[in-house]
Amino acid sequence: MREEKPKNELPIASVDDAKDYVIRVLDHPAGVEAAQWNALLDAQPSAMPFMRHEYLLAMHESGSATTPTGWTPQFLTVEQDGQLIAACALYLKDHSYGEYVFDWAWADAYQRHGLRYYPKLLGAVPFTPVPGPRLLARDAQGRAVLLRAIEQIATQAKLSSAHLLFMDEADRAAAEAAGWMLRSTVQFHWQQREPEPYADFADFLASMQREKRKKIQQERRKVVDAGVTFNWLEGRAISEDDWDYFYRCYSITYREHRSTPYLSRDFFARMASTMPENWMMVLARRNGERVAASLIGIDRAVGNGNGNGSAFGRYWGATEHIPCLHFAACYYEPLAWCIANNMRRFEGGAQGEHKMARGLLPVQTWSAHWLAHPQFAQAVAEFLQREGSGIESYMDELNERRPFKAA
């Protein structure tokens, strides 16, 4: 006879093929064994460092993504014979900040009709718009069980909706098969040239149209003429003082936009301690003094579908205003580093059509949405169909304006 289920176990009576599974909802990332979570992540074809247990735990324990900030953990795990076979980082959200897929209009429509949109259930990496696996499972059946469990959690808690953001292709296929509504947005990514990789940044520039190449050369020259030099620091070569300076820059960027930083200094301290190999910092100096910093996430893993590795533009800031320094620190130096380090891809973050003129090309990203209210679900489905047609047209328009020479 099985022991009585603990309170955080979820009965899945509606899932016929789940009778041998133990499904839990946990209110803290530490409730999942790190080694098992990371092993499950590493089995995904699109594994990336921002879904690692260390990253999610740092978000929580640093106070960056917790209930007081509107991110209440509801980590979903599926076990079979004592082994973790599927999992999903879920959060109860009472707002839509820090998501980069915008549903404020949906929340407003609910409110105007006297309905409550928040809290909602969200499967995402807090403050991190990087595509990757959200449904950690070893096969399609495991993803299907996760999706049905998410629906049941939302239904039992009488939540308005559930959402999965910046999914990979396997998650997208599973969500579509489960009847979830799909939504696409556009990001801009750089890809290393194939089959003959760029030899250096100059080779990369030579592949671009003359007008675009000239603009980049002018922007870089302005920075050089201002007396700025750059250093690339990786991993444990980034000192605590460097991290302190970066955080000062990061905070300035938010302050300039009349906002408050999402991430605490303690979060970055935890990254330096538990995931140092996943960070590269670009430091800009003038007259020997630091004037700006940008932080790049890196994944050198081979065999995870990312070729020789990927890099991810994350944060930046400056303590002096120098024309074109942002472009140099956030795009040109990271791209030069990627080429020098044989990286296959550089992701420039959310939005930003200006990135295209700097060699980053449009890529569609995907989210999936489940709404409990039938009439609102129908209205949102119709909206997403119209929005999706617009995104397709936008992608076609962007691809006609590619900055590279014709092949």
State the average pLDDT for the chain. Answer: 93
pLDDT (tens digit per residue) in 270-305: 999 999 999 999 999 999 999 999 999 999 875 444
The two tokens of residue 4 are 């009585």
CB atoms within 10 A of CB 108: 11
In this predicted structure, the answer to whether residue 13 has a pLDDT above a threshold of 70 is no
Q: What 3-state DSSP class applies to 63?
A: coil
Using 50, 70 and 90 to split pLDDT, how confident is the model at 8? Answer: low
Exposure class string for 228-250: b at 16+ Cβ within 10 A, else e:
bebebbbeeebeeebbebbbebb
How confident is the model at residue 308, as a pLDDT? Answer: 74
In this predicted structure, the answer to whether residue 10 has a pLDDT above a threshold of 70 is no
How confident is the model at residue 296, as a pLDDT? Answer: 98
How confident is the model at residue 316, as a pLDDT? Answer: 97
User: Angle at the Cα of 261 (from 296 to 245), degrees rounded to 5?
Assistant: 55
Task: Give the long-range contacts of residues 274-279, CB within 8 A, separation 24 or more.
Answer: 274/54, 274/58, 275/49, 275/52, 275/54, 275/55, 275/58, 276/235, 276/236, 276/238, 277/234, 277/235, 278/49, 279/234, 279/235, 279/238
pLDDT (tens digit per residue) in 147-177: 999 999 999 999 999 999 999 999 999 999 9
In this predicted structure, the answer to whether residue 389 has a pLDDT above a threshold of 70 is yes
Distance CA 214, CA 205 (A): 9
In this predicted structure, the answer to whether residue 406 has a pLDDT above a threshold of 70 is yes
Side chain identity at residue 68, one-letter code: P
Cβ-based neighbours of 387, under 8 Å, separated by 6 or more:
183
Using 50, 70 and 90 to split pLDDT, how confident is the model at 11? Answer: low
How confident is the model at residue 17, as a pLDDT? Answer: 53
Segment 10-14 mean pLDDT: 51
pLDDT (tens digit per residue) in 249-272: 999 999 999 999 999 999 999 999
Report field, pTM of the whole predicted structure over 0.75: yes
What is the residue whose two structure tokens read 């169909």?
A: 385
In this predicted structure, the answer to whether residue 4 has a pLDDT above a threshold of 60 is no
pLDDT (tens digit per residue) in 187-227: 999 999 999 999 999 999 999 999 999 999 999 999 999 99
Using 50, 70 and 90 to split pLDDT, how confident is the model at 19? Answer: low
How confident is the model at residue 301, as a pLDDT? Answer: 73
In this predicted structure, the answer to whether residue 307 has a pLDDT above a threshold of 60 is no
Distance CA 318, CA 316 (A): 7
In this predicted structure, the answer to whether residue 122 has a pLDDT above a threshold of 90 is yes
Using 50, 70 and 90 to split pLDDT, how confident is the model at 5? Answer: very low
Using 50, 70 and 90 to split pLDDT, how confident is the model at 9? Answer: low
pLDDT (tens digit per residue) in 231-252: 999 999 999 999 999 999 999 9
Distance CA 59, CA 273 (A): 14
